[in-house]
Structure 1
């Protein structure tokens, strides 16, 4: 419990504190009134200041904006003048010789001028048009001098070469050195960029491409000129009837040099120009030399047409060479297939015409013959025709293409294609699976025409049937032998049966004459008589002759006489014939097979008719065998 004294002391202390707080509160109220009065006065003063300062502040802002606009205008003027100033600085460099300034520095100056020109064009100010025109003129001057450097670098390696030197020694044709290619590429890139900047025209034909095509094209044309002349001179004939032999023309060497030089040129182009320009620049570069090549082909074609029968094989050789050349170049990136095909078209047309001309030539030569060999030997036309076919087998690839484009039977100039043919098209087709069959059909037509003409001629000019047979057998033997001794054997295997049938007819015609002589060795035997005629190895000629009547004996004597006379005539005639070896051997076997057994039998039965005097029996069996053996 708190004491009363203590409680009073606490109350007194609290009361004093309350009195202090009350005094402070009174002071705070007075201070608040003073502050409020000061705020009122300050507000009044602020309004007065604002009324006086506001116009001054507004003018200051306008001045700041105007000052900023002036700075911007000065900055724009500076930017506008900067390209002009740059142009003035670059003019001295660009009007100097690049070799004196240094190509690298000269190109750098062109780059700076190009950028300055671009900046002026962006400004689109009318006042800059004069400056733009001046800079364009300056750029053209710089480009012209840079192109001169490009041209000079190219000319350093553009002296004509002798292709035969590189071909015979199997050397690569010269390339532009890598260091020069790098410089040419740099110049080309800057010329292209500048052309794109200074002109609105198509920049694909910018000057460096034309310069390259001109200089390198001249180099190619000059280098290949001698081979062009050689191709024409080697085609000239020493003898008008000499047949062209494969590889004797210089066109093969010309084509090989063209391929190697074009491939080398394409490799020169790739490091210098952009990829999309490679084919175009290559075609431009090769155009001049390719035109000369086309001209050479036209001259050779004129020569072929003038000597179509003997030199048409050159046309097939040219077709194969140029077609293969275009394909190989295309595989190496040089796309000249279309212009080469166009250059080849006249030769292809000549080759097409030659196939019909070969048939017509064979027919015409046979028709013009006024007489056939008196010894029934084969005519030269037959061997010539086979040589034509043999020679054609050396050009099967181009020949197949030509035959395919003509269509089966399309080579005939006398009659429309037979039922097995189809309508030929003008488009040249690739070699197909039936190309070998087409050649076989062509050869069949040619040989059948030859056979029919020979057969007709022999019947009209040779009256003796046996001579007709020998004549036809000789010609057929030439056909057969020359077929089996060449590539024709594999191509004309379907013609074997036809040739065999021709040969059988010819042999049959000849052997008809020997049927007559065989009749003299036939006799009549009467099996109804009491004494049966002896047969076999134990024939008694004396007994048989003794049993004959006088009339029969005279008949036997007459048979021996007629046989001897006819046999001698046939043997003499046989020996007068000029026969191919296989014909002589075959006919000798046929004669022996027909005569020897008949004569042996007749001799065994009746040789005692003249009792060994030889008056009627001229040959014994051994003598007959010797004569027949001598026929082969």
Structure 2
């Protein structure tokens, strides 16, 4: 064991000695490496000091070379527009149809790009080239405008809109291919205009479009404008305008159709912000012609306002409808159409007052009234006028709202262009039908009141005055009942009833004067008062109770009554009454029969049946008064008799049998 341990120890000692020997060798190697590193470091510093300046010079040379390359490239780019000037000039000075439209547009694009590049350099040496390219680009753009114009003219031959109006076909529009070509050309022309900093609101291509298409629209509508003026002229100056007889409706319909089609074309060719201005510029000439036509029609209406005021109402309705449609479709033209319509609208406003004053003036200027109490033609004329107005309720409602309730009665209504608006004129929520009903009521009241006043001056006797007034009121009622006025004038009936009552009262007043003779005097102190009802009256006993003077008074009363009654009957026979008036007045006279029957029962024995004083018995009187309401048919020239109906006006004339 010990020997083994010594052997192991000796072996380990040997290994340690080997390790120490290796350490010594490593230290020697390390010293050699450190010495080498020191020499290498010294050599590196020496090399760096020698090569450093050379490397710096090399970098500067490389940067300088890069700058030179860039300058040469920039010079090349700067010379490129100059070098391409001759090539593009040959293209742009030629006609687009010779080199091809697409190639021509490409040349303009290249020229425009070169011009932008030159302008961005701000080099004085390029100013001449910039000027040359600008002029060249202007020439090219002008040639494009010519192409744009020629393309438009291909589709701008005037048409006859009456064909579209009568057949219901669409108005011509540009094909999608043509619109696409025009859009491309327009974009390049507009691009040059923006680059040239033009201050005009419209691009040159937009101006070309507005001119060419504006002429196309105006020439297409020329015949309709002429027809509108010619159809306003009439052979009979007193003839009343018939709705739809003027060509303004077709004119407006053609204008609306062509404007709508043109707006569709504009939307396919121009940018969104150009649609409105281009449309207004395109429609300018045709709108001016339309406004001129409206002024001519307005002058015609003012010269014949009593018969042709309805034309003004129709124009307002037609143009307002067209304006509303175009406003909803294009968002434009409302103001322009409103300005064109303004003269006609002012004339229509003034017509309401003029018609009202005309009614009053015509009655006041009457030098004579019918001596038979029949109606005057003016009543039918005025009511016919109001009936015709019901066909124009929308425009009339509009102008009445602008005048305000009752504004047609003010002195300024005849010169509404200078009148000051009232609070009522701002009531935009007013019911137009109600305002028309008020105007109609005012007109009827003016007619009846002036007729009543005039009858007091020109007709003798309240009976005749009452018949005259009642007849005219009857015509008014009948024409209301047989027209659209019936549904509009429900609230007017109480006023008409009041006038009818006044007429009846006036007529009955003469009869009441006659019946005063039938009021006898009762002497209760002399004899018992005879029973008034329920018991048979003994006329002989009553007369015996009277003295001779009282009996003479009774005879005188009968005589006076007979004279007055016969005179009234004669007058009644001479009056010409409308059937309704005859029946109404006959019913009103029932009090005459009642009073006469009472008087007759008491005193008919005064002449013992000889008829010297008592001319009529109660049956005769009753039959006579009942006959006042009798009617008979008119026999025409061929001998045929026809019956009266409410729906057949002026087919049957009724007259009294008395």
Contact 2:202 2:278 in 1 (8 A): no
Matched with 2:223 is: 226
Instruction: Quote the Cα distance in structure 2 between the aligned partners of 1:438 and 1:371.
Output: 34
Contact 1:213 1:284 in 2 (8 A): yes
CA 1:7 to 1:521, structure 2 compared with 1: closer, same or farther past 3 Å?
A: closer
Instruction: Quote the Cα distance in structure 1 between the aligned partners of 2:22 and 2:281.
Output: 114
CA 1:200 to 1:2, structure 2 compared with 1: closer, same or farther past 3 Å?
A: same
Structural mapping, 1:62-211, within 5 Å: 62-196=60-194, 198-202=195-199, 204-211=201-208
Contact 1:400 1:435 in 2 (8 A): yes
Contact 2:259 2:283 in 1 (8 A): yes
Instruction: Quote the Cα distance in structure 2 between the aligned partners of 1:557 and 1:11.
Output: 200
Structure 1 residue 257: Cα displacement: 1.6
Contact 2:404 2:427 in 1 (8 A): no
Structural mapping, 1:358-369, within 5 Å: 358-369=355-366
Indicate which of 596, 617, 628 corresponds to 2:625: 628
RMSD value over aligned CA atoms?
A: 3.5
Matched with 1:276 is: 273
Instruction: Quote the Cα distance in structure 1 between the aligned partners of 2:395 and 2:452.
Output: 33
Contact 2:539 2:601 in 1 (8 A): yes
Indicate which of 376, 379, 390 corresponds to 1:379: 376
TM-score (norm 1): 0.88
CA 1:530 to 1:544, structure 2 compared with 1: closer, same or farther past 3 Å?
A: closer
Instruction: Quote the Cα distance in structure 1 between the aligned partners of 2:614 and 2:87.
Output: 131
Instruction: Quote the Cα distance in structure 1 between the aligned partners of 2:412 and 2:585.
Output: 38
Matched with 2:3 is: 3
Instruction: Quote the Cα distance in structure 1 between the aligned partners of 2:274 and 2:284.
Output: 15
Contact 1:87 1:116 in 2 (8 A): no
Higher mean displacement: 156-165 or 349-358: 349-358
Matched with 1:419 is: none
Contact 1:282 1:334 in 2 (8 A): no
Matched with 1:439 is: 436
CA 1:392 to 1:17, structure 2 compared with 1: closer, same or farther past 3 Å?
A: closer
CA 1:7 to 1:238, structure 2 compared with 1: closer, same or farther past 3 Å?
A: same
Query: Which segments of 5 or more consecutive residues in structure 2 lack a partner in the other structure?
Result: 414-418, 630-658
Indicate which of 507, 513, 516 corresponds to 2:513: 516
Deviation readout 1:440-481 (Å, 9 max, x if unpaired): 443344333333322322222223121122222222223333
Instruction: Quote the Cα distance in structure 1 between the aligned partners of 2:566 and 2:170.
Output: 76
Matched with 1:479 is: 476
Higher mean displacement: 178-187 or 539-548: 539-548
Q: 2:568 aligns to what SS in structure 1?
A: helix
Deviation readout 1:513-562 (Å, 9 max, x if unpaired): 11233234444565666798587685566776777766666555444443
Structure 1 residue 74: Cα displacement: 1.2
Instruction: Quote the Cα distance in structure 1 between the aligned partners of 2:103 and 2:85.
Output: 15
Structure 1 residue 218: Cα displacement: 0.9
CA 1:23 to 1:358, structure 2 compared with 1: closer, same or farther past 3 Å?
A: closer
CA 1:522 to 1:14, structure 2 compared with 1: closer, same or farther past 3 Å?
A: closer
Indicate which of 345, 348, 360 corresponds to 2:342: 345
CA 1:26 to 1:167, structure 2 compared with 1: closer, same or farther past 3 Å?
A: closer
Matched with 1:581 is: 579
Matched with 2:653 is: none
Structure 1 residue 90: Cα displacement: 3.3
Instruction: Quote the Cα distance in structure 1 between the aligned partners of 2:122 and 2:84.
Output: 18
TM-score (norm 2): 0.84
Structure 1 residue 137: Cα displacement: 2.0
Indicate which of 504, 526, 539 corresponds to 1:507: 504
Higher mean displacement: 365-374 or 445-454: 445-454
CA 1:51 to 1:413, structure 2 compared with 1: closer, same or farther past 3 Å?
A: closer
Instruction: Quote the Cα distance in structure 1 between the aligned partners of 2:518 and 2:215.
Output: 89
Query: Which segments of 5 or more consecutive residues in structure 1 lack a partner in the other structure?
Result: 417-421
**Aligned pair 1:448/2:445, yes or no?**
yes
Instruction: Quote the Cα distance in structure 2 between the aligned partners of 1:100 and 1:221.
Output: 33
Q: 1:257 aligns to what SS in structure 2?
A: helix
Instruction: Quote the Cα distance in structure 2 between the aligned partners of 1:538 and 1:584.
Output: 34
Higher mean displacement: 345-354 or 615-624: 615-624
Higher mean displacement: 391-400 or 524-533: 524-533
Higher mean displacement: 389-398 or 207-216: 389-398
Indicate which of 264, 271, 276 corresponds to 2:261: 264
CA 1:353 to 1:12, structure 2 compared with 1: closer, same or farther past 3 Å?
A: closer
How many equivalent pairs are there? 623
Matched with 1:295 is: 292
**Aligned pair 1:598/2:606, yes or no?**
no
Structural mapping, 1:297-446, within 5 Å: 297-414=294-411, 424-425=421-422, 431-446=428-443
Contact 1:192 1:203 in 2 (8 A): no
Higher mean displacement: 8-17 or 403-412: 8-17
Contact 2:527 2:545 in 1 (8 A): no
Matched with 1:565 is: 563
Instruction: Quote the Cα distance in structure 1 between the aligned partners of 2:466 and 2:338.
Output: 50
Structure 1 residue 508: Cα displacement: 1.0
Contact 2:193 2:203 in 1 (8 A): yes
